[in-house]
Amino acid sequence: MSKKEAAPDAAKTDKTTEEMILDFGKGKYSAIPMAAIWAKELKKREENRHLTPAELLDLALREVLSGKVGWKDLKKAGVPAEIEAAAKKGE
C-alpha cells in the first residue's frame, strides 16, 4: 500500500473531538449522556483499565460521535431503565 492510499484514512481519524461534535447529526446534546454511559462500560473492560478517566471519556465520546456506539449498544450493555427513558426523549 502506498502513502497516497493511506493518507485518506489518516485524515478521517485525525478529526478533533470538537470537529466531531460539530458534525454529529443526531444532536450534540444527546451525545453527552451516551458518552458518559459508554465511558462507564469501557471502564469495566480489562483492556481499558490502564486509561485515565479523561482518556476513557475521550475514547467514549469519539466512539459515540463516530457512530460506532448508539443507544441500542448501550441497551445491550445493560443500561438502567431510567437512562433508557432518557434515551427515548433524546431520539
Q: Is the pTM of this model over 0.75?
A: no
Domain assignment present for 58 = yes
Walking along the chain (91 residues) 10 residues at a time, the average pLDDT comes out as: 47 70 74 86 90 91 87 75 61 54
Query: How far is 25 from 52, CA to CA, in rounded Å?
Result: 28
Domain assignment present for 19 = no
Domain of residue 39: give its range: 27-90
Q: What is the pLDDT of residue 89?
A: 64
Q: What is the pLDDT of residue 59?
A: 92
Domain assignment present for 9 = no
Q: What is the pLDDT of residue 6?
A: 46
- Measured N-to-C along each axis, helices 28-44 and 81-90 cross at an angle, to the nearest 10 degrees, of 150
Domain count, the chain: 1
* Size (the chain), residues: 91
DSSP track, the chain: --HHHHHHHHHHHT--HHHHHHH-TT-HHHHHHHHHHHHHHHHHSGGGTTS-HHHHHHHHHHHHHTTS--HHHHHHTT--HHHHHHHHHH-
